[in-house]
Amino acid sequence: MMRRLAATVVLAALLVPSAPLLVGAQGSGCALSSAYRQFTGQVSEVGATRIVIQPGGGAPLAFAKSPSVAVMGAKAGWGRLREGDRVIVSWDMADAPRTAHEICVLASPAPAS
């Protein structure tokens, strides 16, 4: 009984800090299509026809702008995207070049007080 309780406490201690990561786009007000893969990171470059996303670790990925790209979440519209925005990009592995079909802009964290 005590071992089970201890295991439950350890599991809860591991999961609670990662809860915001588990929520993903659903907690941000975005309704991303399950037909695409998602890539999360910070916008490092945005132009008229492409966006570059820097993940938490690893190499940045560039995405071409789909003619029908949907931008949702904390910002709406490609023209409102800025360097430093945290986003989830929905894309299809079959696309060449890699193309952004949906972008969920995540809310900025509250400033530390």
With H, G, I as helix, E, B as strand and everything else as coil, classify residue 26: helix
Local confidence band at 110 (pLDDT 50, 70, 90 cut-offs): low
Amino acid 109: pLDDT: 72
How far apart (Å, rounded) are the C-alpha atoms in residues 32 and 51? 18
Confidence check: pLDDT of 63 > 60: yes
Rounded to 5 degrees, φ, ψ at 93 are -60, -25
Half-sphere exposure (Cβ direction) of 33: Cα atoms closer than 13 Å? 12
Going by their DSSP bridges, the two strands 99-105 and 61-73 should be labelled as: parallel
Q: What confidence tens digit (pLDDT) does each residue in 10-33 have?
A: 444 444 343 344 344 545 678 999
Joined together, the tokens standing for residue 3 give 């071992």
Q: What pTM, to 2 d.p., does this model score? A: 0.72
User: CA 72, 77, 82, 84: dihedral to nearest 10 degrees?
Assistant: 10
